[in-house]
Amino acid sequence: MSLIIEVAIPVPLFNTFDYLCSQKASIGARVKVPFGQKKVTGIVLSYKDKSKFDKLRSVEEVLDQEALLSKEILDFLFWSASYYHHPIGEVLSNAIPKNLRIGKPAVIKKETTINDNSSTNPLKQTSEQKKAVVDVLKYENSFHGFLLHGVTGSGKTEVYLSITEWLLKKEKQVLVLVPEIGLTPQMIVRFEERIKAKVVAVHSQLNETQKQDAYLMAKSGEAKVILGTRSAIFTPIPKLGLVIVDEEHDGSFKQQSNFRYSARDLSFMRAKLANIPLILGTATPSLETLKNVVDQKLTRLVLSSRPGGAILPEINLIDMRSQASEALSIPLISKMEHYLKEDKQVMLFINRRGYAPVFYCTECDWRAECNNCDSTLVYHRNINRLKCHHCGLETVPESSCPSCKNHDLKILGYGTERLEENLESFFPDTTVIRIDRDTTRRKKAFTTHLEKINSGESCIIVGTQMLAKGHDFSNLAFVGILDVDVGLMSLDFRATEHLAQLLVQVSGRCGRGKYKGEVNIQTRYPNHPIFNFIRDSQYTKYANHLLTERQDAQLPPYAHQALICANSKNKDAPEKFLSEVANLINNIDMDSVEIWGPVPAVIEKKSNYYYFNLYLQSTNRNELHRVIKTFYKHLETIKISSTVRWFIDIDPIE
Ligand code: ADP
Ligand code: ZN
Ligand code: ZN
């Protein structure tokens, strides 16, 4: 006798599909089913007595004897799909590793072994660390959210390790989310060295078999610590006892394509459903998190100083209005000389890769621009090409101006590559290590660079924001921060928040040893209030000041936003579509939801597609979500041009 089962299928549709099934199929198991002309892997959601449809097709094969997705993880995935208004079939398939998605058997290929490195001596904890550990463990068996707010280098990781060790004794598992493992290999090393149990890392540099194995070892309960990037939030972990989100302020917890979820935000629901504590750790809490502290949704635990006598660096400004050079000022060079002479490492931070961002004509107003995007081309000297950082277009630089035939074409501005070249001429006897996406494209390159830096040998490090993340460079004594002024002038309401976080994080790279470090920031706006706060290590004060501004302007986190973004190769189509969407929403009976737009995106044209945005905002989150649900119900009343692609982004951050 055949049963009717409801199956979620990875297609961008909100409905699920009914099939006949003659074998036993558990809820949460994978099934191979015919779909159109294809065979796809779906997930069994429920059994049914009858279906709305007559001619049901049959399941071809039941792929799992036991459920792959437990009820607990299914509940979490359903909640996520509903919150982000994303089709459940896609949410489920996004949550499982590719091999399982394509129907391979759910068996572990290669077990990870337990590291039996004689573990490093546990440190004598500071009283603040002890308090943090005790406070979290008070909530060992119930949901409670914490902000572990510790200055850079204050020993947050030590707190994570200590709580983890305790929970493992109770047979629990721990999930640790980090922004980008590739950039912070130290975190894995420290867990592996310390924890005498299986630690699995889940990140994009693993191959598909490794990803599947890590997933299945977490699911079976064998792996005790699961350390991963954002998608690890969906790992099935039957004995989950704690969720940690390290560097919670980091933007990479938000997925910016297809299923646009925030792993940081979802961690609350994950911990709530499992009834366990949650720790968000950072030196520079996001405004969302600080508001949660104010609203008593999170308890703040503070680590106010660096253990072992290390002190925070001194921060000074260099006023670029009185400097002739646009990149390396005279005071900066002399500071670098000073520290290099003492055999220290120095680091320069600039958030732009390539050689120079502008290639222009000295006679007319021509500058090299991308044909496919609204953006200028960046000159890369080592390959002698102009490159678009949005679509990847590469061209050979013109030898004369295409507009006026003038032969005098010049470059303007600085990227990491040009800085590296300049430094080599200023400091011919010092090693310069450049770290950006161009020098670390190969998998091992970044690790090799880090090893060189960690050897402690005196050198100059030049890099982009890749350097801002939790690295612990013990011989680094000086950090120069270049070109921050764009962040002060930006129209994005989050720009100053992000700049403050970046300045604190980059500064935090130095002075980790016994040596007080120094940070110099070059700016043409030395009177901007941000610098007073940063100089006095008053991030929280500045963040509170920004929170007040957001409250006055009724911006997030005091209001909730959703963005509907449409794009098309046809210039008028997205705007027309979004105007109809706006009309539809305006006809919904609602209060407190405001509509803004359609407006062109900041970069309107990218890879020959035109982008338009429509913003919805409300101080009432439930009302906003109710309106979006109603909008979806009536969506078929809008005729959508076949050239238009669109998506919805809940709590957008860009
Ligand atoms: P964070 O994660 O807050 O940036 P870490 O956990 O990396 O800080 O700690 C910074 C440094 O301080 C590390 O080298 C760590 O070993 C050391 N450390 C942490 N806690 C203590 C302690 N209680 N006593 C001595 N050193 C400590
Ligand atoms: Zn010209
Ligand atoms: Zn382009």
DSSP string, 301-322: EEE-S-GGG--PPEEEEEEGGG
Q: What is the mean pLDDT of the chain?
A: 92
Is 257 contained in some domain?
yes
DSSP state of 325: -
**Ligand 1 nearest atom to the CA of residue 157, by list position:** 6
Is 9 contained in some domain?
yes
**Ligand 1 nearest atom to the CA of residue 470, by list position:** 4
Which DSSP string do the residues of 545-597 spell out, in sequence order?
A: HHHHHHHHHT-TTSSEEEEEEEEESSTTHHHHHHHHHHHHHHTS--SS-EEEE
Tell which residue, 524, 478, 461, has the closest CA to residue 315.
478
- The residue whose CA is least distant from atom 15 of ligand 1 is 155
Nearest ligand to residue 395 Cα: 3
Q: Is residue 521 domain-shared with residue 442, that is, in the same domain?
A: yes
Nearest ligand to residue 406 Cα: 2
Is 407 contained in some domain?
no
Q: Is residue 617 domain-shared with residue 486, that is, in the same domain?
A: no
- The residue whose CA is least distant from atom 5 of ligand 1 is 155
Q: Is residue 447 domain-shared with residue 344, that is, in the same domain?
A: yes
Exposed/middle/buried for 385, CB within 10 Å: 0-12, 13-18, 19+?
middle
> For residue 420, how far is its CA from the centre of ligand 3 (angstroms)?
25
**Ligand 1 nearest atom to the CA of residue 154, by list position:** 3
> For residue 414, how far is its CA from the centre of ligand 2 (angstroms)?
22
CA distance to 242, 270, 427, per residue, from 201 (Å) = 16, 19, 40
Q: Is residue 324 domain-shared with residue 303, that is, in the same domain?
A: no
Task: Identify the residue whose tokens are 């920004």.
Answer: 546
The answer to whether the CB of 543 falls within 8 A of the CB of 290 is yes
Q: Output the pLDDT for position 427.
A: 95
- Spans in the chain with pLDDT lower than 50: none
> For residue 365, how far is its CA from the centre of ligand 2 (angstroms)?
6
Q: Is residue 302 domain-shared with residue 424, that is, in the same domain?
A: no
- The residue whose CA is least distant from atom 20 of ligand 1 is 155
Is 409 contained in some domain?
no
Nearest ligand to residue 605 Cα: 3
> For residue 167, how far is its CA from the centre of ligand 1 (angstroms)?
21
The 10 Å CB-count burial string (b at 16+, else e) for 618-648 is beeeeebbebbebbeeeeeeeebeeebebbb
Q: In terms of residue numbers, what domain contains 339?
A: 310-354+414-549
**Ligand 1 nearest atom to the CA of residue 472, by list position:** 7
Is 115 contained in some domain?
no
> For residue 190, how far is its CA from the centre of ligand 1 (angstroms)?
11
Is 155 contained in some domain?
yes
Run of H or E residues at 640: none
- The residue whose CA is least distant from atom 10 of ligand 1 is 153
Nearest ligand to residue 603 Cα: 3
- pTM, two decimals, is 0.93
> For residue 387, how far is its CA from the centre of ligand 3 (angstroms)?
8
CB atoms within 10 A of CB 61: 13
Nearest ligand to residue 161 Cα: 1
Ligand 1 pocket test target in 129, 157, 305 with most atoms within 8 Å of CB: 157
* End-of-domain residue from the set 549, 572, 607: 549
- The residue whose CA is least distant from atom 17 of ligand 1 is 155
Q: Is residue 198 domain-shared with residue 291, that is, in the same domain?
A: yes
> For residue 386, how far is its CA from the centre of ligand 3 (angstroms)?
11
**Ligand 1 nearest atom to the CA of residue 306, by list position:** 12
Nearest ligand to residue 127 Cα: 1
Which DSSP string do the residues of 96-112 spell out, in sequence order?
A: S-HHHHTT-----SSPP
Residues with CB under 6 A from ligand 1: 123-126, 129, 150, 152-158, 307-308, 470, 472
* End-of-domain residue from the set 251, 285, 307: 307
The 10 Å CB-count burial string (b at 16+, else e) for 602-612 is eebbbeebbbb
CA distance 2 to 195: 49
Q: Output the pLDDT for position 654.
A: 79
> For residue 123, how far is its CA from the centre of ligand 1 (angstroms)?
9
CA distance 424 to 434: 11
Q: Output the pLDDT for position 202.
A: 86
Percent over 90 (pLDDT), the chain: 77
Ligand 1 pocket test target in 126, 158, 163, 509 with most atoms within 8 Å of CB: 158
Tell which residue, 572, 569, 589, has the closest CA to residue 580.
572
The first and second tokens of residue 486, run together, are 């764009």
Is 116 contained in some domain?
no
> For residue 311, how far is its CA from the centre of ligand 1 (angstroms)?
12
Q: Output the pLDDT for position 473.
A: 83
Angle between helices 287-294 and 539-553 (to 10 degrees): 80
Strands 144-150, 299-303: pairing kind: parallel
CB atoms within 10 A of CB 264: 24
Run of H or E residues at 362: none
Q: Is residue 421 domain-shared with residue 515, that is, in the same domain?
A: yes
* End-of-domain residue from the set 286, 307, 328: 307
| Gyration radius of the chain over CA positions | 27
CA distance 434 to 439: 7
Q: Is residue 184 domain-shared with residue 224, that is, in the same domain?
A: yes
Domain containing residue 150: CATH number: 3.40.50.300
DSSP state of 55: S
> For residue 378, how far is its CA from the centre of ligand 3 (angstroms)?
10
Beta-bridge partners for 203: none
**Ligand 1 nearest atom to the CA of residue 129, by list position:** 23
Q: Is residue 234 domain-shared with residue 323, that is, in the same domain?
A: no
Q: Is residue 245 domain-shared with residue 344, that is, in the same domain?
A: no
Q: Is residue 438 domain-shared with residue 316, that is, in the same domain?
A: yes
Q: Output the pLDDT for position 515.
A: 72
Is 424 contained in some domain?
yes
Angle between helices 621-633 and 573-586 (to 10 degrees): 110
Q: Is residue 332 domain-shared with residue 294, that is, in the same domain?
A: no
The answer to whether the CB of 368 falls within 8 A of the CB of 414 is no
> For residue 410, how far is its CA from the centre of ligand 2 (angstroms)?
11
> For residue 388, how far is its CA from the centre of ligand 2 (angstroms)?
21
Question: How long is the chain?
Answer: 654
Domain containing residue 69: CATH number: 3.40.1440.60
Query: What are the start-end ranges of the E strands in 268-344?
Result: 277-282, 299-303, 314-319
- The residue whose CA is least distant from atom 27 of ligand 1 is 307
Nearest ligand to residue 375 Cα: 3
Q: Output the pLDDT for position 117.
A: 61
CA distance 29 to 83: 24
Tell which residue, 628, 623, 247, has the closest CA to residue 469.
247
Domain containing residue 624: CATH number: 3.30.70.600
Task: Work out how many domains the chain is built from and give that number.
Answer: 4
Task: Identify the residue whose tokens are 């579509």.
Answer: 577
